[in-house]
Structure 1
Amino acid sequence: MSTTLTEQQQETKQAAEKIAQQTVFSILIALSFTHLLNDTLQSLIPAIYPLVKDSLKLSYSQVGLITLTFQMSASILQPLVGFYTDKKPQPYSLAIGMGFTLLGLVSLSMAHSFPMVLVSVALTGVGSAIFHPEASRLAHMASGGRHGMAQSLFQVGGNAGSSLGPLLAAAIIVPFGQFNVIWFSLAALLAIIVMLRISKWYMAQPKKPKVKKAAVLTDKPQLSNGKVIFSLAILLVLIFSKYFYMASMTSYYTFYLINKFNVSVQSAQVYLFVFLFSVAAGTFIGGPVGDRIGRKYVIWISILGVAPFSLLLPHVNLAWTAILSVFIGVILSSAFSAILVYAQELVPGKVGMIAGLFFGLAFGMGGVGSALLGRLADQTNITYVYQVCAYLPLIGLLTGFLPNLEKRTK
């Protein structure tokens, strides 16, 4: 009799675990979907650069300033949002953040002056600042311990959305005009609806901060504070390398193709979509591989491994440029999930703050990089920008100084 009860209890426990696992994946998929919508909307900003550059008679420096305004409004707030929500979780902050993005889109569709464009992208940046740290923290919560996989699934939605933006802009905005940005507000409304459902799931979760903190401290790698700070500094430098190069691609790749190969604006947007789609694919690969072989090795391969392709890019024809951009996108993008989870393991218990810091720095480096590269393009030419940026991945050599957390934890 007791054996039968034990078997029934075991079956009940397994069924409960299975249901819980299904629930976790449904939340991860929902977070990835909202990330897709969020980053699709944000990617409309660089996608319409050729349009606003012509209509408003902007220089490359002013184009870079648009990116800087968007990225800085996102980057400065993100660590603060993450720090605050670690202490006081805000379940409905995701929907609030998307509300700011919605306002930014409506404003951008009717912006016919340079200052109005800056205000519009700043509102969108605030929405991003609220969304990313809290959504990343929820992905960590729903991961079931598979943090690399969860971050990759969350990130791949964002990168897929970033790749769709240029394609949608080429199909809807470039042929029919800037005002058609307003149609994308429907996607923002859909994201808000999904986010409200995620918020309800989050509110239903049992709150056991002491147990979680104790569990995290048990698994903490035994590193001195100095070593932790040194390792975080290396990771931040790697983020600089990655996102400065990414800024050259997301902000100026279309101009490079138009200038060097005389392709049309719509064709250039398609090439940008190919690059950004490869970024999405690489993002999904990085997290699970990091869970399996170690995050340090993924970081090493991802940053330094891009160098041969980036060094070749400025010296090849259009077909090879497209092929090399795919390799660059896949390899370079696999780093971020590994870097983020590695940093969260260095500083356990501060998931939101670390996510906000690294997302914020990624946005900030992208903005600063875009502004500086725009200035460089005005003073020289767009091809020279890619010849300079080709050497940035060599900074990946610094990965050799990072400790192997997996070995220390074992």
Structure 2
Amino acid sequence: MNKRRLGLLTGTHAVNDLYQGLVPALLPLMVLERGYSYTAVAGLMLAGTGLSSVVQPLFGLYADRHPRSWLVPTGFLVAALGIVLAGLSRDYLLTWIAIALCGLGIAAYHPPATVAARAAGGTSQKAMSVFSVGGTIGASFAPVLAATAVGGGSLSRSYLLGLPALAMGAIWLLANTGTSGNAAAAASAAARRAGAHMPKPHNDWRAFGWLVATIVGWSIPYVTVLSMLSLRITRDLHGTAFQGAAALTAFTAAGAVGTLLGGWLGDRIGRMGTIRTGYLFALPSMAGIVLAPSPAWALACTALLGTSMFLPFAAQVTLAQDYLPRNPATASGITLGLALSVGGLVSPLFGMLSDARGLGFTFTAVLCVLCAATVLALRLRNRTMQPPPAETAGTEAAA
């Protein structure tokens, strides 16, 4: 494991996902200052997240065919530029274009950065979990940064939001120049030439399809819980607003803990054992929320659910890359972008179901979806691939 390289990539992930989190964090401020309607807000959210999820596999295809390390810093710098322009623009169309630019930067970052993190981590599942948590930490700071820099009707100060990206860009430049950076680049190029004539393992698209279906079944409960859990506690269980907010905080924090714990377990009990354990423990946790008699019971089950659902997260990313060894960036783009976005795309349907039948019925339906995802997870099979020669050599040289 190249800890220095992994730490640098984790830092870039935190900065990149900071701008992903700034999109929803800035929307309430835009409503107050510019008087946007809910429809306009939904349009901006679609530009920032929906477009990013759809084009992310395309950037994965490009990264597989034309590996370019500059995509990593370019991604988060473009995302920062989009956020700054969105804050400074007064025209809605220009704001929409700016947030779409932010989404494109976020999409461009993830596939190559995930492949680079896998190379830096070697065979360790813990490395991928650390990289993943970096993004969670960055996104969690977005509301604080938005309120501090541009809160209180001060969107004209949005240029301040670009400072984290500029600082990380400078760090990236310093870390990738000089003697060690040149040596790593030379070793990586030599290894690519040496490995060009080596036969590459085939892509297992069938197994990858089953994994994508599993992740889709994971994303639907995740998005539904994230959007409706607070209402479930306050309306159905007669909890306070504080208890509803505490449940969401517990779910997010437990997700970060589960991601790290999943990486640790993956190195000890294996990748498939971690995936199956996460899904099997998530089922009684979700059932506990459905049958919860009180807010306190729901809060406890929520913490367990967040931990369980994120146990398989890092393992699923590395498994996707091993299913498609010829296209690891594409695999990352589909699993982290397109498959995870399905939960958001179908969330209006569950909202309509809640209006018609109540939140209890909706959470029961979500439990059924999670059961189907668990069945799919249990039928997944492991596939271990050695890191590509270019990545291995480049990592060792950088170390």
User: Do the structures match in fold with TM over 0.5?
Assistant: yes
Deviation per residue, 1:123-146 (Å, 9 max, x gap): 222111111111111112222x32
C-alpha displacement at 1:402, in angstroms? Answer: 2.0
Deviation per residue, 1:302-331 (Å, 9 max, x gap): 234212212222453333333322212111
C-alpha displacement at 1:32, in angstroms? Answer: 0.8
Aligned AA for 2:318? V
Q: Does 1:148 align with 2:147?
A: no
Counterparts of 1:384 and 1:186 in 2: how far apart (Å)? 46
Deviation per residue, 1:321-375 (Å, 9 max, x gap): 3332221211111212111211222222422222222222244324413454455
Q: 1:258–1:43: structure 2 CA closer, same or farther, 3 Å change rule?
A: farther
Please identify, of 295-304 and 150-159, the stretch whose mean Cα deviation from structure 2 is larger: 295-304
The corresponding residue for 2:391 is none
Identity across aligned pairs (percent)? 26
CA contact (8 A) 1:68 1:370 kept: no
Gaps of 5+ in 2: 386-399
Alignment of 1:44-63 (within 5 A): 44-47=22-25, 56-58=36-38
Counterparts of 1:52 and 1:370 in 2: how far apart (Å)? 24
C-alpha displacement at 1:118, in angstroms? Answer: 4.4
Deviation per residue, 1:364-402 (Å, 9 max, x gap): 324413454455556666665444323322121112322
Counterparts of 1:66 and 1:300 in 2: how far apart (Å)? 37
CA contact (8 A) 2:89 2:95 kept: yes
Counterparts of 1:181 and 1:375 in 2: how far apart (Å)? 36
The corresponding residue for 2:375 is 397
Deviation per residue, 1:189-209 (Å, 9 max, x gap): 223223334554464553212
Please identify, of 372-381 and 36-45, the stretch whose mean Cα deviation from structure 2 is larger: 372-381
Matched residue SS, 1:405 = coil
Counterparts of 2:232 and 2:90 in 1: how far apart (Å)? 25
Counterparts of 2:168 and 2:225 in 1: how far apart (Å)? 27
Q: 1:174–1:187: structure 2 CA closer, same or farther, 3 Å change rule?
A: closer
Alignment of 1:106-255 (within 5 A): 106-109=84-87, 118-143=96-121, 145-166=122-143, 172=148, 176=152, 179=155, 183-197=160-174, 199-200=176-177, 201=181, 203=185, 205-207=187-189, 208-209=191-192, 211-212=194-195, 217=200, 228-253=204-229
CA contact (8 A) 2:14 2:134 kept: yes
Q: 1:229–1:139: structure 2 CA closer, same or farther, 3 Å change rule?
A: same
Q: Does 1:294 align with 2:276?
A: no
CA contact (8 A) 1:69 1:367 kept: no
Counterparts of 1:47 and 1:259 in 2: how far apart (Å)? 25
Deviation per residue, 1:262-299 (Å, 9 max, x gap): 755x9866653432222111112223422332222222
Counterparts of 2:43 and 2:215 in 1: how far apart (Å)? 20
Counterparts of 2:369 and 2:54 in 1: how far apart (Å)? 24
The correspondence for 1:331, drawn from 308, 311, 322, is 308
Matched residue SS, 1:390 = helix
Aligned AA for 2:172? M
The corresponding residue for 1:9 is none
Aligned AA for 2:296? A
The correspondence for 1:84, drawn from 53, 57, 62, is 62
Aligned AA for 2:70? Y
Matched residue SS, 1:206 = helix
Gaps of 5+ in 1: 1-20
Please identify, of 290-299 and 372-381, the stretch whose mean Cα deviation from structure 2 is larger: 372-381
Counterparts of 2:98 and 2:358 in 1: how far apart (Å)? 28
Q: 1:280–1:117: structure 2 CA closer, same or farther, 3 Å change rule?
A: farther
C-alpha displacement at 1:104, in angstroms? Answer: 2.7
Superposition CA RMSD, Å: 3.6
CA contact (8 A) 2:149 2:161 kept: no
The correspondence for 1:351, drawn from 321, 328, 350, is 328
TM-score, length-scaled by structure 2: 0.78
Aligned AA for 2:262? G
Deviation per residue, 1:52-75 (Å, 9 max, x gap): 67864427xx76665444333222
Deviation per residue, 1:64-115 (Å, 9 max, x gap): 6654443332222222222222232222222221222113322443577876
Counterparts of 2:275 and 2:305 in 1: how far apart (Å)? 14
Counterparts of 1:196 and 1:377 in 2: how far apart (Å)? 50
